[in-house]
Structure 1
Amino acid sequence: MKIGINAFGCEHGRSGIGSYILSLVKNLPRTDYEFQLFGPELDKYTYTSDIDYISFAGIDIADTNFAEKMWHFKNLNSFIKKQKYDAVIYPSGIDLLPPILTVPSIFVIQRLLSANLNLLAKIGAKRTLKNASGIICPSKFIKADLAEYGITDSEAKVIYNGIDTSLFKYRENDNSEAVFIQPFSIRKPYIIYASRITSPEKCHIELVKAFSIFKKKFGTAHRLVIAGSDGDNTETVHNAVIQSGFSSDILLTGYFPHENLPQLYASADLCVFPSMAEGVGLPVIEAMACGIPVACAAAGALPEMAGEAAVFFNPKKPEEIANAISNLIDTEENKERREEVIQKGLGWISRYNWKTTAEETVKYLDSIFKKKV
């Protein structure tokens, strides 16, 4: 049985969905299924350069969102027929689809749909999801969100994403005064928040306010590092930093390569993750794997993903965030509390393993095709 995996809509492997595809295919067990990725010709060696049992079919197409959408609308079904796919997996969910699904289709829904779609789009999403042969959700929170689209409990499967434990792993924090990650030299100690500056729901503003409260109250040398690409909310966040009174202690890195994040985490005093709209929230798990304590929002999928291994706060209350920070910074008073949170995190991360993710995905495919027989 030949299964296509759609690698479009992944920013050439740089997005979260791109990381999902790369990690999934690297860990897919050898089975009777023949998997083949398909996507832009530019990505020919992005995903399969070191995997000999999964092929890649490249499509020569302009590198624009419009060109990709038009290709899916006009050409995808004929391409599926030509490649003789028995089914197609869509890691980017319902963003790029043909007008009609001609083979069994499995959607991976990596984000909350209810918060991002207008009424017309929601009607289309509901119809598409109802025609799906399978739906994979990386959290119970996202699965629950799909109830708005008429998806019942039995129509979607929760399969947690993994983390790359060869990258995100415990490292002893040295006593150096700064960490050097090109092109940055970041003075320690610092607090890390790795997130793109997109919507207000990411709560960058609240974190900046909390950092100001923390600095005024405790007067420590800590800096705040916000690592992530600029987005729709960038100007507002930059203005908040300027007005905070501590702009010299707040670093906005812009785009930060995923492969460099482990060093950034491992050298941090703690990770603070105030986003209230996370459908998955893997950055908190990656931070735990690097051996630092995590404080995060009691919102979205974060309580589910972090379990009892993090300290939680109300992301709309800067005072609460500031208190969480003060309780986890590396001081003699916090030593026992910090160590407890760190050890809980290191124990918790075993739940997020890409090998398990890939194996459960194959088992889910088995169950789907058994129903078709």
Structure 2
Amino acid sequence: MRFGIDASNIGGGGGVTHLREILINYDHAYFSNRIYKIVIFSSTAVLNELPDSPFFEKVTFPAFNKDLFSRVKFQISGYDKEIETRCDILFSITGDYIGKFKPMIGMSRNMLLYERHIWKDIAQPKEILRFWLNYKKQKICFKNSAGILFISDYAKNYISNKLKLSTKPTAVIHHGLSPKFVGIPEVQKKISEYSFQKPFRFLYVSTIHVYKHQWNVVKAIGELRILGYPVELSLVGGVIFKPAGKKLNKIIASKDPTHTFIHSKGHVDYAEIEKEYCSADGILFASTCENMPNILLESMASGKAIACSDKEPMPEFLKDGGFYFDAKDPNSIIKTLIDFLENPGKRKEFIDKNKLEIEKYSWKKTSKETFSFLLNTYKQHIDVQR
């Protein structure tokens, strides 16, 4: 069988990481009698980040290296013919394939397409239109698919109810976790053992957007210092929505104009990100819209205690291994962080729980389960056609 992966609309970050890892961990010996070749369709930039193998074929087209309009035009007019000459089955890894090739399996990655209350916070017609169009594309993709892959129970239940997908074969297959994030737990000290000269170092890793609420975290850290708690905060992540970046910078300027305790580091390459976890004393994660929060898994593996948004699907993965808060309410964050700082014993308990929990996640497992689901879905599709 010739197996195709449509990654023509994949961007950077987690999408590339996921694709790269399932290919790196692909078990050819296990699948050799069923999969002859894996063909990956994407831009040259993405293909260059993927592993080489005699079993992989990387394919790009001029349109895939141009703007969105060029990609969509080609996907409608000429893409299907190219797929048909190379593939027996197609996996739309971004869940937005709108062509007519079958069988095709879609994948859910982005809950922003569905949690529309966040669109009100975005408040930019052009950005909202982009989400609406992507939602429409995914709706078509899922309607035409032979099966759908989800990466959290939360997403599966939410989207299945929204789009009425009860008759579709589905699976929840979690992303994996790189061993490089596994850290050694440190002794948890009382907050009295820290000082304003050597403060407790919180870390928040995430891109900057309205649903990430970095400004509320900054407000909380500023208030804790006024209350006498020696804390500081490092923010790691690039701005992906300019109004959110401007709002964050304004709040930082008002709370810490001399940049004494708020350190905004911007984007840090994935190859270096584990160093940020290693240098922190505790982790914050304040997002209110995720499909599967890989950053949370990385934090759990780091050996640091975590204070986290109580919005699903965060509790689905962190379970009872963290201190929870309402990310939209700075007072809730303050109250939770006081509990966090005043209870080193609870911190240790949560760290120990998380170290056991993250043993469930590996990219090797993700890769094997993914290709197994796709093969089983293909078999069901062929059986139905007969």
Of 147, 150, 162, the residue aligned with 1:148 is 162
Aligned counterpart, 2:375: 366
Deviates more, 1:245-254 or 1:259-268: 245-254
Cα 1:60–1:125 change in 2 (3 A) is closer
TM-score (norm 1): 0.86
1:157 paired with 2:176, answer no
Aligned counterpart, 1:275: 287
Contact kept? 2:16, 2:46, Cα under 8 Å: no
Aligned counterpart, 2:195: none
1:69 paired with 2:72, answer yes
Contact kept? 1:125, 1:149, Cα under 8 Å: no
Of 228, 240, 246, the residue aligned with 2:251 is 240
Contact kept? 2:41, 2:58, Cα under 8 Å: yes
Give the superposition deviation at 1:261: 1.3
Deviation readout 1:189-220 (Å, 9 max, x if unpaired) = 4211111112x221112111111121111340
Give the superposition deviation at 1:123: 5.2
Mapped partners of 1:292, 1:27: distance in 2? 27
Contact kept? 2:91, 2:105, Cα under 8 Å: yes
RMSD: 2.3
Mapped partners of 2:48, 2:379: distance in 1? 33
Matches within 5 A, 1:1-373: 1-11=1-11, 14-30=12-28, 31=31, 32-33=34-35, 34-49=37-52, 51-61=53-63, 62-83=65-86, 85-94=87-96, 97-98=97-98, 100-112=99-111, 113-115=113-115, 122=135, 125-146=138-159, 147-152=161-166, 155-165=169-179, 167-171=180-184, 189-198=200-209, 200-220=210-230, 222-232=231-241, 233-245=244-256, 247-329=259-341, 334-372=343-381, 373=383
Mapped partners of 1:278, 1:56: distance in 2? 30
Deviation readout 1:199-248 (Å, 9 max, x if unpaired) = x221112111111121111340x321111111321101111111124643
Amino acid at match of 1:138: I
The 3-state SS of whatever aligns with 2:260 is helix
Deviation readout 1:9-45 (Å, 9 max, x if unpaired) = 333xx32111110011111221121212121234443
Mapped partners of 2:110, 2:273: distance in 1? 22
Share of identical aligned residues, percent?
Answer: 20
Give the superposition deviation at 1:82: 2.4
Cα 1:120–1:362 change in 2 (3 A) is closer
Higher helix share: 2
Cα 1:171–1:60 change in 2 (3 A) is farther
Cα 1:120–1:190 change in 2 (3 A) is closer
The 3-state SS of whatever aligns with 1:258 is coil
- The number of residues matched between the two structures is 348
Contact kept? 1:48, 1:56, Cα under 8 Å: no
Mapped partners of 1:275, 1:41: distance in 2? 32
Mapped partners of 2:316, 2:167: distance in 1? 17
Mapped partners of 2:317, 2:51: distance in 1? 29
Contact kept? 1:38, 1:58, Cα under 8 Å: yes
Mapped partners of 2:219, 2:46: distance in 1? 41
Mapped partners of 2:322, 2:23: distance in 1? 30
Contact kept? 2:256, 2:262, Cα under 8 Å: no
